[in-house]
Chains A and B, each alone.
Chain A
Amino acid sequence: MHKYASPKFFYSLAGQLIPWIAALTAVLLLAGLYLGLFVAPADYQQGESYRIMFIHVPAAWMSMFIYMLMAGAGAVALVWNIKLAEIFANSCAPIGASFTFLALATGSLWGKPMWGTWWAWDARLTSELILFFLYIGYMALQASIDDPRRAARAAAILALVGVVNIPVIHFSVEWWNTLHQPASVSKIGTPSIHPSMLAPLLLMAFAFTIYFVVVALLRMRNEILERERHTTWVADMLESTKP
């Protein structure tokens, strides 16, 4: 276990894995987009514009999933003092914020033809907006502390407070106002969505998850290099890659 958690070992392992996972991401994304944009039938109420859902819904799922991962990694880093968990939590934040932004942007693009307005204070859009603010706060805190280890620990505490708060915020906002469609996929077993639309949706969700893994690995490799730039193994590696 300790071997896998050492930054040096992880750096080379991630380097070997990235091309394969990246290729898988490209295949899944293309397949998901093809099924979603060309094969899935048009919706009888929303016509073609519902197809933005194949981006919007997985992005919204990812935005929450990544925050949970980030808080979980932060807890691991706080309790067991594992450097790699800190690095992982750090690399999660910008990706999660991007997915949140993507969910907000696509939601707003979908809202214009459907609701007739770019922005409605609908429950889920609003809690997604607050999640976006939480990500921004996390990144701002991390950026304003110079020592990376201290920054990671402070940010981890913030993420843990945030993760307890997210269900509360979500529920409060839901209660405060709701005009969004009720969740369609949450009923596992008998989803109220047709399989021809569900398949691309799940495929896209899977593709986004794998994409997140690739980008997280890339970011982690960068951060490992930055943190370990004074160590001998980084120097040796740079020496050996020189032409």
Chain B
Amino acid sequence: MPKLLKAIARLFWRDLTVAMRRSTDILTPLVFFVIVVSLFPLGLGPEPVVLRTIAPGVIWVAALLATMLSLNRLFANDYADGTLEQMALAPYPLALLVLTKIAAHWALTGLPLVLISPLLAVQMHLPETAIATLALSLLLGTPILSLLGAVGAALTLGLRGGGVLVSLLVLPLYTPILIFGAGSVAGVIAGIDTEAHFSLLGAFLALALTLLPWATAAALRVSLD
């Protein structure tokens, strides 16, 4: 057992180190997230009331798109240099290794989105009470986005037009998270109790953590055939 934990820890740090050496890769989705959100006031006009109404949806949709753009980094490099095949051959469950890679991916793309979201919330004139809700809903929601996205990334590995294809596969599956994530922020602004939103997001996360690493591992085995 300790051997497995060691392998997982090594893999996690390896993914972080590799990503740190190419730090622009981490920054690109984050900058994309900020730019997309900043474009909306330019398109809609700067009235605080309008911005406050659309902010939860806009920030959440931008988070979905930013996550989606970062998905090809999840497996593509390891697939290209053969590391992924070694992982599939390793004496450890592929699903756990995949889960580790997803965790590293989330730490590099999901977590920065959560951390920068208060800044965007201020930019969009969200009331102070909603800022914490936004960050918390993203904290619960972005891991689900990474987990669902991993299935899409694994299925489209090495295919032509993979980048656009992955969005077709993944975006429809993102809808429940968007509804409850953006809904929780809108609920706080409207003064509604948002416990139900967070309970459901938590339930989705639990479900995604249990099922999706296995689906991703199965998809990787198909793609590696």
Binding site for B on A (CB under 8 A): 78, 130, 133-134, 136-137, 140-141, 144-145, 150, 153-154, 157-158, 160-162, 164-165, 168-169, 171-173, 175-176
Contact B159 A144 (CB under 8 A): yes
Q: Within 8 Å CB of B176, what residues of A?
A: 165, 168-169, 171-172
Q: Within 8 Å CB of A140, what residues of B?
A: 165, 168-169
Contact A158 B155 (CB under 8 A): yes
Distance of A125 from chain B, by nearest CB (Å): 14
- Whether A176 touches B179, Cβ cut-off 8 Å, given contacts A145-B159, A161-B212, A165-B173, is yes
- Whether A141 touches B179, Cβ cut-off 8 Å, given contacts A133-B171, A161-B151, A168-B204, is no
- Would you list which residues of chain B between 166 and 225 have a CB under 8 Å from chain A? 168-169, 171-173, 175-176, 179-180, 183, 204, 211-212, 215, 218-219, 222-223, 225
Q: Within 8 Å CB of B215, what residues of A?
A: 157, 160-161
Q: Within 8 Å CB of A173, what residues of B?
A: 175, 179
Q: Counting CB contacts under 8 A, is B156 at the interface?
A: yes
Q: Within 8 Å CB of B211, what residues of A?
A: 164
Tell which of B156, B176, B212, B219 has the most Cβ of chain A within 10 Å: B176
Measured between alpha carbons, how far is A226 from B147 in the docked complex, in Å?
36
Contact B225 A150 (CB under 8 A): yes
Q: Within 8 Å CB of A168, what residues of B?
A: 176, 204
Binding site for A on B (CB under 8 A): 148, 151, 155-156, 159-161, 165, 168-169, 171-173, 175-176, 179-180, 183, 204, 211-212, 215, 218-219, 222-223, 225
Q: Provide 25 A-B residue pairs closer than 8 Å at the C-beta atoms, listed in order of the A residue.
A: A133-B172, A136-B168, A140-B165, A140-B168, A140-B169, A141-B156, A141-B165, A141-B168, A141-B169, A144-B161, A144-B165, A150-B222, A154-B222, A157-B151, A158-B151, A160-B215, A161-B173, A161-B215, A165-B176, A168-B204, A169-B172, A169-B176, A171-B176, A172-B175, A176-B179
Q: Within 8 Å CB of B169, what residues of A?
A: 137, 140-141, 158
Q: How many pairs, one residue from A and one from B, have CB atoms within 8 Å of each other in the complex? A: 68
Measured between alpha carbons, how far is A31 from B9 in the docked complex, in Å?
66
- Whether A154 touches B180, Cβ cut-off 8 Å, given contacts A136-B168, A137-B172, A161-B173, is no
Q: Within 8 Å CB of B218, what residues of A?
A: 78, 157
Distance of A153 from chain B, by nearest CB (Å): 5
Contact B172 A134 (CB under 8 A): yes
Measured between alpha carbons, how far is A172 from B165 in the docked complex, in Å?
25
Measured between alpha carbons, how far is A161 from B155 in the docked complex, in Å?
12
Distance of B221 from chain A, by nearest CB (Å): 9
Measured between alpha carbons, how far is A161 from B144 in the docked complex, in Å?
13
Q: Within 8 Å CB of B179, what residues of A?
A: 172-173, 175-176
Contact A172 B180 (CB under 8 A): yes
A162's partner among B161, B173, B180 (CB-CB below 8 A) is B173
Complex A-B, nearest 5 residue pairs according to Cβ-Cβ distance, in ascending order: A172-B176, A133-B172, A137-B168, A137-B169, A172-B179
Contact B222 A157 (CB under 8 A): yes
Q: Within 8 Å CB of B161, what residues of A?
A: 144
Measured between alpha carbons, how far is A161 from B213 in the docked complex, in Å?
11
A130's partner among B151, B155, B175, B183 (CB-CB below 8 A) is B175
B160's partner among A144, A162, A172 (CB-CB below 8 A) is A144
Measured between alpha carbons, how far is A130 from B176 in the docked complex, in Å?
11
Measured between alpha carbons, how far is A145 from B165 in the docked complex, in Å?
11
- Whether A154 touches B175, Cβ cut-off 8 Å, given contacts A145-B159, A164-B211, is no
